[in-house]
């Protein structure tokens, strides 16, 4: 405990504080005065090929080094192919971008996990799997889904390329304090309902702008019951509600995930770290600037119908009628979305046919996600005319899944088993939807053209993705139970342990 509070002011110890405020206070290098921002120290900087080349260029132009290569790590993920990774990347601009990252990392002394390395993969899967993402740290990355790392009780911020350069040069960021919002999810999720359904329901409730200026803290019994993978799924999509970050206070689940990982503290350091981590939870009596309460008991599988992640409904519901929307802007956005998605108001969500199922992305590509889907599809066949891509979040996840035999289950089902990367979440590599194609996707954004020009995306959980691949229409595991294709007891609860 000797290290835990020595940079906090005595006052800060007395006033009840939230988790976010504690992490902020602990990283204060200089307090802002007269409207200037605070200067916040950054513990971990994650780098990938897309948002870094211009930042490295800026350093070169100014003759500046990377201040702390030992707090910086890079991986290749957005552009990387998921097939034939032993061959040169066919797309020349993608290849140039990857080669630029390799040159920059060599020049500036940055650790890089390249294609073919076991730790290569989506940057937000790699940080946690290495044990680098820890409670109470500040994490940044030139990627909005950096919010993922908040699942460990870290303050994790997506930043732009100018800020990437700023962190490289100074290991700090000038930031104005954020407001705090408690998202309390009470009760217990029913089997077949997952963390993904919680966060889609939260975004539908508060809207894509509802979290703007806030750090969200997810709390309540349903959050406590989630695995780290589930918490990462939730924090990952905080940005889709417009929030700067999402956080979950660390607990025994967090520590069990971290202990023994390559870069987790060990020995006496572990005890010191845990003693500090135990002080992070929001104090009794601390106040939030806003609060949202959700009931997990009544939550159903949730899916999107439109072109932003807030345009979602329960899977058992119908496509809403824009005419029923009061707000004129929301109404016209809904009209435009239905036109783009080629959907008619009143259509049952379960009647919507898909062409493609994508299981992957920083939201849902960890081994638990793959297990959950495999539980549903094992011994069955993919629906006629449907293709399914399974893209593990990292090379290590792929190997872990193969050790459990999950690859064989997916292949026997008729799915494609790919190499790790961001893949069809944003289609910067060849994994894209064709114009007009419709996809049930475990990713995080259903924006127009996100998965390929003219492509249509429905955001779903891994369980809904699996059931949809079997039936060819948006479905939950409970529909398979009704069809007599799945035993009542076979619908997985949230956490699917290793087989």
Partner 1 sequence: MQKFTTVTGVAVPMRRSNVDTDQIIPAVFLKRVTKTGFEDALFYGWRQDPEFILNQPAYQSPKVLVVGADFGTGSSREHAVWALRDFGFDVVLSPRFGDIFRGNSGKQGLLAGQISEDDAETLWGILEANPGIELTVDLVACTASVGELTVSFEVDEYTRWRLLEGLDDIGLTLRDEARIAEFESHREPWRPRTLPARQVNL
| 70 binding partner 1? (CB under 8 A) | yes
Q: Say if residues 140 and 171 touch (Cβ distance below 8 Å).
A: no
Give the separation between CA 453 and CA 455, rounded to whole angstroms.
Answer: 5
Kindly state the smallest distance separating residue 160's Cβ from partner 1, in Å.
4
Q: Rounded to 5 degrees, what are φ and ψ at 473?
A: -125, 155
| 72 binding partner 1? (CB under 8 A) | yes
Closest CB to partner 1 among residues 50, 343: 50
| 221 binding partner 1? (CB under 8 A) | no
Interface residue with partner 1 among 5, 8, 12, 96 (CB under 8 A) is: 96
Interface residue with partner 1 among 9, 287, 332, 482 (CB under 8 A) is: 332
Kindly state the smallest distance separating residue 385's Cβ from partner 1, in Å.
27
Interface residue with partner 1 among 208, 279, 316, 318 (CB under 8 A) is: 208
Interface residue with partner 1 among 25, 76, 77, 165 (CB under 8 A) is: 165
| 114 binding partner 1? (CB under 8 A) | no
| 445 binding partner 1? (CB under 8 A) | yes
If DSSP states are collapsed to H, E and C, what string results for the chain? CCCCCCCCCHHHHHCCCCHHHHHHHHCEEECCCCCCCEEEECCEEEECCCCCHHHHHHHHHHCCCCCCHHHEEEECCCCCCCCCCCCCCCCHHHHHHHHHHHHHHHHHCCEEECCCCCCCECHHHHHHHCCCCCCCCEEEECCHHHHHHHHHCCEEEECCHHHHHHHHHHCEEEECCCEEEEEEEECCCCCCCCHHHHHHHHHHHHCCCCCCCEEEEEECHHHHCCCHHHHHHHHHHHHHHCCCEEECCCCHHHHHHHCCCCCCCCCHHHHHHHHHHCCCCCCCCCCCCEEEEEECCCCCCEEECCCCCCCEEECCCECCCHHHCCCHHHHHHHHHHHHHHCCCCCCEHHHCECCEEEECCCCCCCHHHHHHHHHHHCCCCCCCCCEEEECCCEHHHHHHHHHCCHHHHHHHHCCEECCCCCHHHCCCCCCCCCCCCEEEECCCCCCCCCCCCCCEEEECCHHHHHHHHHHCECCCHHHHHHCCCCCHHHCCCCCCCCC
| Contacting range for partner 1; rule: CB under 8 A; set: 8-16, 68-76, 217-225, 297-305 | 68-76
| Contacting range for partner 1; rule: CB under 8 A; set: 10-18, 223-231, 315-323, 441-449 | 441-449
Kindly state the smallest distance separating residue 139's Cβ from partner 1, in Å.
9
| 9 binding partner 1? (CB under 8 A) | no
Kindly state the smallest distance separating residue 367's Cβ from partner 1, in Å.
11
Kindly state the smallest distance separating residue 194's Cβ from partner 1, in Å.
23
| 269 binding partner 1? (CB under 8 A) | yes
| 80 binding partner 1? (CB under 8 A) | no
User: In the window 169-188, what residues touch partner 1 (CB under 8 A)?
Assistant: 169-172, 174, 176
| Contacting range for partner 1; rule: CB under 8 A; set: 193-201, 292-300, 380-388, 440-448 | 440-448
Kindly state the smallest distance separating residue 15's Cβ from partner 1, in Å.
22
Interface residue with partner 1 among 18, 94, 238, 314 (CB under 8 A) is: 94
Q: Using CB under 8 A as the criterion, what x/- string covers residues 354-393 for binding partner 1?
A: ----------------------------------------
Kindly state the smallest distance separating residue 40's Cβ from partner 1, in Å.
10
Helix or strand or coil: residue 290?
Answer: strand
User: In the window 412-431, what residues touch partner 1 (CB under 8 A)?
Assistant: 426-428
| 467 binding partner 1? (CB under 8 A) | no
Other residues' Cβ atoms within 10 Å of the Cβ of residue 92: 9
| 144 binding partner 1? (CB under 8 A) | yes
Closest CB to partner 1 among residues 49, 369: 49
| 41 binding partner 1? (CB under 8 A) | yes
Interface residue with partner 1 among 177, 224, 382, 447 (CB under 8 A) is: 447
Kindly state the smallest distance separating residue 428's Cβ from partner 1, in Å.
5
Interface residue with partner 1 among 16, 88, 116, 260 (CB under 8 A) is: 260
Total residues in contact with partner 1, by rule CB under 8 A: 93
Kindly state the smallest distance separating residue 23's Cβ from partner 1, in Å.
12
Kindly state the smallest distance separating residue 182's Cβ from partner 1, in Å.
19
CA distances for 467 relative to 255, 306, 431, 460, angstroms: 33, 21, 22, 11
Give which of 326, 336, 438 is closest to 383, Cα–Cα. Answer: 438
Closest CB to partner 1 among residues 407, 431: 431
């Amino acid at each position: 405990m000797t290290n835990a509070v020595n940079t906090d002011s005595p006052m800060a110890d007395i006033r009840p504080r939230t988790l976010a405020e504690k992490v902020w206070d602990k990283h204060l290098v200089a307090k802002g005065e007269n409207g200037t921002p605070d200067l916040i120290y950054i513990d971990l900087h994650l780098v990938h090929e897309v948002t870094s080349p211009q930042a490295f260029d800026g350093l070169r132009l100014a003759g500046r080094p990377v201040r702390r290569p030992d707090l910086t790590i890079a991986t290749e993920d957005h552009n990387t192919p998921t097939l034939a990774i032993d061959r040169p990347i066919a797309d020349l601009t993608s290849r140039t971008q990857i080669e630029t990252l390799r040159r920059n990392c060599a020049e500036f002394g940055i650790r890089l996990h390249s294609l073919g390395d076991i730790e290569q993969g989506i940057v937000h899967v790699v940080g946690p799997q290495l044990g680098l993402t820890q409670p109470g740290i500040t994490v940044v990355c030139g990627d909005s889904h950096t919010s993922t790392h908040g699942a460990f009780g870290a303050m994790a911020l997506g930043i732009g390329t100018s800020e990437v350069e700023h962190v490289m040069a100074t290991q700090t960021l000038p930031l104005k304090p954020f407001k705090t919002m408690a998202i309390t999810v009470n009760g217990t999720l029913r089997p077949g309902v997952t963390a993904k359904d919680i966060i889609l329901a939260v975004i539908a409730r508060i809207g894509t702008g509802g979290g703007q200026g806030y750090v969200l803290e997810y709390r309540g019994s349903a959050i406590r019951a989630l695995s780290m993978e589930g918490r990462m799924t939730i924090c990952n999509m905080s940005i889709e509600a417009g929030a700067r970050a999402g956080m979950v206070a660390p607990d025994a689940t967090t520590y069990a995930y971290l202990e023994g990982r390559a870069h987790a503290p060990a020995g006496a350091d572990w005890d010191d770290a845990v003693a500090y981590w135990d002080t992070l939870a929001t104090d009794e009596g601390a106040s939030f600037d806003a609060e949202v309460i959700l009931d997990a008991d009544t939550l159903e599988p949730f899916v999107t119908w439109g072109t932003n992640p807030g345009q979602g409904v329960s899977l058992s519901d119908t496509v809403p009628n824009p005419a029923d929307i009061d707000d004129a802007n929301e109404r016209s956005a809904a009209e435009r979305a239905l036109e783009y998605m080629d959907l008619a108001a009143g259509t049952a969500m379960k009647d919507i046919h898909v062409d493609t199922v994508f299981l992957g992305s920083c939201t849902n590509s960890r081994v638990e996600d793959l297990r959950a889907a495999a539980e549903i599809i094992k011994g069955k066949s993919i629906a006629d005319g449907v293709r399914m891509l399974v893209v593990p979040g990292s090379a290590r996840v792929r190997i872990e899944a193969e050790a459990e035999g999950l690859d064989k289950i997916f292949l026997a089902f008729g799915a494609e088993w790919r190499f790790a990367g961001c893949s069809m979440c944003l289609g910067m590599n060849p994994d894209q939807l064709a114009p007009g194609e419709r996809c049930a996707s475990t990713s995080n954004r259903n924006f127009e053209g996100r998965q390929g020009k003219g492509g249509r995306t429905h955001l779903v959980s891994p369980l809904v993705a699996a059931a949809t691949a079997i039936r060819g229409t948006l479905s939950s595991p409970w529909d398979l139970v009704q069809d007599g294709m799945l035993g009542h007891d076979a619908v997985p609860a949230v956490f699917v342990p290793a087989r």
